Structure 1
Amino acid sequence: MSERLSPVAAVRRAYAALRAWNDPAMFIHLPDEAALLRRAAALEAAGPEGRPLYGLVFAVKDNIDVAGMPTTAACPAFTYAPARSAFVVARLEAAGAIVIGKTNLDQFATGLVGVRSPFGVPRNALRPDLIPGGSSSGSATAVGAGIVDFALGTDTAGSGRIPAGMNGIVGLKPTLGLFSATGMVPACRTLDTISVFAGSVALASAVATVAAGYDQADAYSRRLPAPAPGQRPAALRIGVPAPGARHFFGDAEAEAAYAADLARLASLGATLVEIDYEPLHAVARLLYEGPWVAERYAATKPLIEDDPGAFHPVTLRIISGARGLTAVAAFEAMYRLADLRRVAERIWDEVDMLAVPTVPRAYGVAEVEADPIALNSNLGTYTNFVNLLDLAAISVPVGRRGDGLPSSLTLIGPAGTDGLLAGFAASAETPRPARP
């Protein structure tokens, strides 16, 4: 990490960058700059001792609570004023980081595209015609555009990884339960986790180390190993789908970039092992074709039943599908998932981690708006199975596509391997230019 600014200078730089970037769809709520500068001055007076994130500014996805700022989940009718910050936000603030605002998202974190919000579509940090990725669209673009040092997102089906890949940054999706969910609006409570976006693996890992911690108030919190980067095995085995199981939906640049990125991993001493990927694809299909959408209905039940017109049309269409589901269907899907999980467990006898494309195809905004559901499902090809199987993951830019866009790999491992994944990701990443 480069030398840090003072808190006051960091806030000033962030607001100057915001004005220069000029994207009103990036943030849903921004505090008054003068008020934030006063908070930064108070932090500066207290000094950096015992504050590992001192001098860093961050953004928070607007389905995570920050005291003094409204939470909307990108639905104005849902808005409330939280009494306190989320558990993770409080830990980061105690470590010296400063929240500069709440970012836009696919409404109720439902989507991988970043275009399902009444607050507009955040501009992709690399190319304005491309989707920003979702659901953590504003957080990823805020990091990609150099507005903030890092940002919090959430991840249920890939919302902490797809936007990272679409904006050329790092997206760290921790093991479920490593980060407390207290103060986070749930999408699928059994699968959700807060995630981290940053410009480097080193910074994402530093943030994750502070954010991680057991929370008695969160029924899904777990005592897990620290996520700091760890040493790789002497003979690292990386699982990859066989060529016939690789899906890029016509994006030749993505296909070529994935092959080049795998060659880079091999050059770092990893042994690439082709695995049977069909069980993972089958799990991925379960997320959208199975009854987990009923969890989204449960999370929004009062509003969707009393005021369905408050929802984005695509979000309403997706969540309303839960009305036809039964408890029988839910149990049948859980049994199917248990069977697939047992099959997928055999993968870890063969490999130490997986390396898959983060984004199978770089879709444009116009494409997604014309076909919002099918293309969203395509984006989840290599992400949807991860939380259902209780795996850890980190998305990292490794190479460059033929059209100049960064190419991104996601490294995936069993629960608790966050440090192993981060350690190898750091050796494979392509460093981003330092912020001015």
Structure 2
Amino acid sequence: MSDGRIRAGAIAAAVTAGETNAVSVARDALARIEAYAAIQPAVWITRLAEADVLARAAAVDARIAAGETLPLAGVPFAIKDNIDLAGVPTTAACPDFAYRPEASAEVVARLIAAGAVPVGKTNLDQFATGLNGTRSPYGAPACVFNRAYVSGGSSSGSAVAVAAGLVAFALGTDTAGSGRVPAAFNGLVGMKPTKGRWSTTGLVPACRTLDCITVLTHDIADARAVDAVVAGFDAADAYSRPVADRPVALRRIGVPRPDQRLFLGDAASERLYDQALATLAASGAEVVEIDMAPLREAAMLLYGGPWVAERTAAARPLLDDRPEAIDPTVRAIMEHGRTVSGVDVFEGQYRLAELQRHADAMWQDIDLLALPTTPTIYRIAEMRAAPIALNSNLGLYTNFVNLLDMAALALPAGWRDNRTGFGITLIAPAWTDRALLDAGDAYLAAAAPPPSPPLTTEDPMDIVKLAVVGAHLDGMPLHWQLTSRNARLVAATTTAPTYRLYAMANSTPPKPALVHAADGAAIAVEVYELDVAAFGSFVVEVPAPLAIGSVTLADGSTVKGFVAEPRAIEGAEDITALGGWRAYIDGLARPGGS
């Protein structure tokens, strides 16, 4: 299955110019949706009938023919199913909660007026309570490029619909990171506007004082186009605010102090974040280390403080009358909200006001934050085994943003070896939305992140990269242990310059010992890919005093590789200066070699 990504700007331009028409675009989108349903049936809660979609598209063509200018002419889009579309059930991923709205949400109405064509309502973590995408009776949408992993949530189906090329953009929501996290995992742009910039009329609330409707796109141009259509005051929304865009230079970039950069053991995330910071620094921006503690404390208020009671309020009738209808994890969170007292609410507000002062002071020293969107990613099975703890980990860098009234833009920043996306998020004070879009454009132009992995109809197996340094090199005596497991050579490179290499004594066949050392050098290695099962069978055959650990390569990435116990260098010859095992073996073969 090819990539098939589509972009709103290109579609609208083609429809407006008469190069195609909205009906043809809609037919193509419906065909892609149907084909992908065989791969991931959990993306949608409600798919609009073909006749309905084509009728909407035909109405767009008629408006174009009548001379109207429509900025989103014929662009197919998806709607997270906690946002109303007139005449279509809104479920919030809870069948017993479902209702059929008479009117569309204000943002949906504005998009349709601009020529966009809705095709369906997407799956989500129930009541938008979760950052992972597994909390839905309609199934768990998975990361598009490795379906063993979570898609991110709560805007799970929306992210998958865009990343799989089914629609050009999709509406999500974001209270704690629900639009940013799935953007990161699926290689997308996720725009979380300033609170009140986009109307929330017609949105099922999660935390009504904090909720934002968001958009997921393939590029910033499309996010900018959607914002141009939907931003604006809505008198019907008690939390809407008049747009007050303000320019910001965005030249001083705040990043966590090194001791506060948490990746929870995910070396790939750490490496990709370092690369992103290097790109930002190379642009001439000043990188300023900040204390994350006040932001992390604010983040803890979202679920550990009184704001959890807002989630209880959003679904209280159902929670009172039919609690069994609610996902057990979501229900536990909502039940906790019942324990919040009025005193707790005011004390939480007092502390948040104090933390807001910290944030205000922070903005005197920096123009924006550049944070990892998440510290890591998890498999669906892992998330289901520990749904609260692992979900909380995904919000380490996201939960504080709405509480402290900030705008945010999630950007793709590379791919892990397991084909899951890593992202960074640019964060700035309220009403810097357009400035953040400009900053995102500049970052992506400079970083040139690698393209998404190709879409596939098959579930990709988890792959392990293994660095070999001695007897397993191509042409060496134990290389067969790799070829017999269908290992694939992906790189001939070197380690980071922090290793020493020894020829072990009394080893048959001759084998080296690779030891980490501050006074080391770069050592030649070959890197192979094996599936997890093959890797496991390989590891059990590794004899002591050798072992499999983690080896850092010249590019800063970390892979599995041969390491050695201290006893391995007893009586061994230090051959570090030779730069690799082949040079040592070649020396033995020459006359006079030792």
Q: Shorter chain as normaliser: what TM range? A: over 0.9
Deviates more, 1:18-27 or 1:361-370: 18-27
Matches within 5 A, 1:33-182: 33-47=50-64, 49-182=68-201
Is the aligned partner of 1:18 residue 2:33? yes
CA offset at residue 19 of structure 1? 1.9
CA distance in 1, matches of 2:454, 2:59: 25
The count of aligned residue pairs is 432
1:368 corresponds to: 383
Counterpart in 2 of 1:29? 46
* 2:560 matched residue in structure 1: none
What residue in structure 2 maps to residue 425 of structure 1? 440
Q: d(CA) in 1 for partners of 2:55 and 2:333?
A: 43
CA deviation string 1:344-367 (max 9, x = no partner): 211101111000001210111111
Measure how far apart 1:10 and its partner are.
1.6
Displacement of 1:268: 2.0
Conserved in 2, the CA contact under 8 Å of 1:257 and 1:402? no
**Could you tell me how far 1:404 is from its partner in structure 2?**
4.8
Contact in 2 for aligned 1:260/1:399 (Cα 8 Å): no
Q: Tell whether the 8 Å contact from 1:64 to 1:86 is kept in structure 2 after alignment.
A: yes
CA distance in structure 1 between the partners assigned to 2:99 and 2:275 by the alignment: 47
Of 269, 272, 285, the residue aligned with 1:270 is: 285
What is the deviation of 1:14?
1.1
SS in 1 for 2:69: coil
Query: Does the C-alpha gap of structure 1 residues 98 and 33 become closer, same or farther in structure 2, counting only changes over 3 Å?
Result: same
Aligned equivalent of 1:241: 256
1:45 positional shift? 1.8
- Which of 246-255 and 170-179 deviates more? 246-255
Shift of 1:39: 1.9
Matched, 1:411 2:426: yes
**Counterpart of 2:234 in structure 1: which amino acid?**
D
Match of 1:296 in 2: 311
Higher relative contact order (CA 8 A, sep 6+): 1
Q: Please, which moves more after superposition, 407-416 or 391-400? A: 391-400
- 1:314 to 1:173, Cα distance in 2 relative to 1, 3 A: same
Secondary structure of 2:93's match?
coil
Residue type of the alignment partner of 1:197: L
Deviation at 1:435, TM superposition (A): 11
Report SS of the residue matched to 1:58.
strand
TM-aligned CA deviation for residue 433 of structure 1: 7.1
Q: Which amino acid aligns with 2:73?
A: Y
Number of the residue aligned with 1:2: 10
- 8 Å CA contact retained: 1:359, 1:379: yes
- 3-state secondary structure, aligned to 2:157: helix
In structure 1, give the amino acid aligned to 2:164: A
State the structure with more CA Rg. 2
**1:209 and 1:226 in contact (8 A); partners too:** no
Q: Give 1:349's aligned residue.
A: 364
Runs of 5+ in structure 1 lacking a partner?
Answer: none
Structure 1, 382-391 or 48-57: larger mean CA deviation: 48-57
Asked if 1 retains the 8 angstrom alpha-carbon contact of 2:419 and 2:453, the reply is no
SS in 2 for 1:387: coil
1:393 is aligned, of 408, 422, 432, to 408
Task: Please state if 1:336 is matched with 2:336.
Answer: no
Query: How high is the sequence identity, in percent, across the aligned residues?
Result: 53
**Post-superposition shift, 1:226?**
5.2
Amino acid at match of 2:10: S
Please report the RMSD computed on the Cα atoms of aligned residues, expressed in angstroms.
Answer: 1.8
Task: Assess if the C-alpha contact under 8 Å between 2:133 and 2:142 holds in 1.
Answer: no
1:403 CA displacement: 4.8
Distance 1:400 1:163 in 2: 14
- 1:296 is displaced (CA, Å) by 0.6
The letter of the residue matching 2:351 is: R
**Structure 1 residue corresponding to 2:229, chosen from 206, 210, 234:** 210
Deviation track 1:379-417 (CA, whole Å, cap 9, x = no partner) reads 000000000000000001133445554431100000000
Alpha carbons 2:145, 2:453 under 8 Å: kept: no
TM superposition shift of 1:41: 1.3
Alignment deviations for residues 57-88 of structure 1 (CA, whole Å, 9 cap, x no partner) = 10000000001210000000001010100000
Q: CA deviation at 1:423?
A: 0.3
Q: Which has the higher helix share?
A: 1
Which letter maps to 1:15?
L
Counterparts of 2:209 and 2:194, CA distance in 1: 12
> Compared with structure 1, are the counterparts of its residues 404 and 268 closer, same or farther at alpha carbon in structure 2 (3 Å cutoff)?
farther
Task: Look up the SS of the partner of 1:385 in the other structure.
Answer: coil
| Cα distance between partner residues in 1 of 2:454 and 2:414 | 20
> TM-score under structure 2 normalisation?
0.71
Asked whether the 8 Å contact 1:115–1:131 carries over to 2, the reply is: yes
d(CA) in 2 for partners of 1:435 and 1:403?
13
2:526 corresponds to: none
| Between 35-44 and 97-106, the greater mean CA deviation after superposition | 35-44
CA pair 268-137 structure 1, distance change in 2 beyond 3 A: same
From 288, 292, 296, give the equivalent of 1:281: 296
Match of 1:359 in 2: 374
SS, match of residue 29 in structure 1: strand
Structure-2 separation of matches of 1:433 and 1:97: 25
Q: 1:89 to 1:65 in 2, by over 3 A?
A: same
Distance of 2:454 and 2:312 partners within structure 1:
41
2:184–2:411 contact (8 Å) kept in structure 1: yes
Pick closer, same or farther for the CA change 1:256–1:433 going to 2, 3 Å.
closer
Aligned partners of 2:224, 2:62: CA distance in 1, in Å? 27
SS at match of 2:412: strand
Q: Which residue of 1 aligns with 2:328?
A: 313
SS in 2 for 1:388: coil
